[in-house]
Structure 1
Amino acid sequence: NSARRDKELENYLQREALAAAIAQQEQMDEALIEAEVREFRKQALLSRYFDTYLAEQVTEQAIKNYYNSHIDEFTEEKAHLAHILLRTNPKMSDNEKKAQLNKSHEAYSKLQSGADFAEVAEQYSEDTVSAKRGGDLGWVKQGAIDANFTAQAFKLDAGEYSEPMATTFGYHIVKQLEAPKKINEPYENVKGKIRHILRQAAKEAEYERLQALVKVETK
């Protein structure tokens, strides 16, 4: 009987210890939840504040003013180009790549014989979108498409075309339709970028101001 009472007492103490541990854990969980709720409310308050503040600061007029006063940031040198592309890819065999190179030389020979560039582009170019426009790519900035491509294109005179050259896309023949010139990026194309710049700057400045106020009040 004594052994049984000892065992019952041991079981009772274990149950009490377990119950106390559970109660303590629940208190810890409640404290953690309360802390998370407070943090969530704080972040929500900050978010609402900055949404209102930034909407007042970064207006359409502010964006236009930035564009007009920083126009150099949105000005790039571009050339009006056309091309003929014979595509290659890493999965091609050497013979397949050589066949594409031969096609590019065939197209080049036709140009040398006096054929119209637009007609040759429509016949040979595997860039089907521009081929329908006679190879016309529009105004292209330095470094776009492929570094070697634009480096060669910008060296040409207006009306000249290059020999076939290797690029990351395959074999290219490029023609300079109009000489490079400075072109301003349209406002609508960069409005989103400017809005982001202004919002970031305004948010950082206001955040620093609020932090300074808190430091002053807590002194």
Structure 2
Amino acid sequence: MGRTDLRRADVELFASQRAPEASGIQAQLDALIDRQRLAEEADARGLDDRPDVRARLAAARREVLAQALVEEQLQGATEDKALRERYAARKDALSRREIHVRHILIRLPQGADEAERRRARDRANLLYARILGGEAFDKVARESSQDEVSAPRGGDLGPVLEGQVHAAFFEAAAALKPDEVSKPFETPYGLHIVQALAPVETRVPSFEEARGRLAAESRREAEARWMKDLRERVSVERFPQALRPLEAAATDAGTAGTQGEMAR
């Protein structure tokens, strides 16, 4: 069309960037042709010579090329063979502790003052005393826990892996022996009383379970290596004076925003 040949790859890319259910492929082609008409008209008017348009075109080209290089360079890093070798070498490091506990939660409002904290502690201590006095933990949890999900199950959280809950909660729970009940302790979510239902176990994830994490680590390491190589090979000359107007504009915008907040 016009001065441009549109190929199947152009249609495929254009369609991939739009909602697939929006229309059929012919409608997508018609929409692409309309965009190309606009682009050719902009080119005829010399809009590509405007500094702001040139900057946007350069930015688009830069991002496309950078992403293409990233995909090409990292392809080998996430191949099945490489990930399985990484899994075999890091199997022990991938292991995580697993606990099975139930708990009672007394929530603390965000920004709770000392009086609210004292009332929450008093309530938690009262529930702890009931359990020490012989009441079943699950009964007290059903009646009094403020964790709406686990309370109907008697506070049972099921198996919990290290990293799935707040570290303070996990460490306090992992220190308990089976059937042992903790004293009330605090996390950012509130006050907890915990009972261990099973010994702490060490769980090693299968390769398939760890695959996503291994791939992400491999990509990060590979990217860091060749970015280091690029930084060493490609020289950069900086012109700080050219950035001063931008820095001044950013400072002015920040000051204006602060003044606006103060005026509200």
**TM-score (norm. length: structure 1):** 0.65
Partner SS for 1:84: strand
Larger radius of gyration: 1
The equivalent of 2:122 in structure 1 is 102
- Deviation string, structure 1 residues 63-101 (Cα, Å, up to 9, x no partner): 233223211221123322221111112444544433332
Partner SS for 1:139: strand
The equivalent of 1:158 in structure 2 is 178
C-alpha deviation, 1:204, in angstroms: 4.6
Residue identity over aligned pairs, in percent, reads 26
Q: Which whole-Å CA distance do the structure 1 matches of 2:85 and 2:198 have between them?
A: 31
Gaps of 5+ in 1: 1-25, 215-219
1:87 aligns with 2:87: no
The equivalent of 1:191 in structure 2 is 211
- Deviation string, structure 1 residues 161-191 (Cα, Å, up to 9, x no partner): 0122333332211111122222224544542
1:139 aligns with 2:160: yes
Partner SS for 2:200: strand
Q: Is the 1:77–1:182 Cα contact (8 Å) retained in structure 2?
A: yes
Gaps of 5+ in 2: 1-45, 235-264
Partner SS for 2:106: strand
C-alpha deviation, 1:140, in angstroms: 4.3
Q: Which whole-Å CA distance do the structure 2 matches of 1:211 and 1:92 have between them?
A: 50
**TM-score (norm. length: structure 2):** 0.56
User: Aligned Cα RMSD in Å?
Assistant: 3.7
Q: Which whole-Å CA distance do the structure 2 matches of 1:174 and 1:104 have between them?
A: 11
Partner SS for 1:79: strand
The equivalent of 2:187 in structure 1 is 167
For these two proteins, the number of residue pairs brought into alignment is 187
Distance 1:114 1:188, change over 3 A: farther
Higher strand share: 1
The equivalent of 1:16 in structure 2 is none
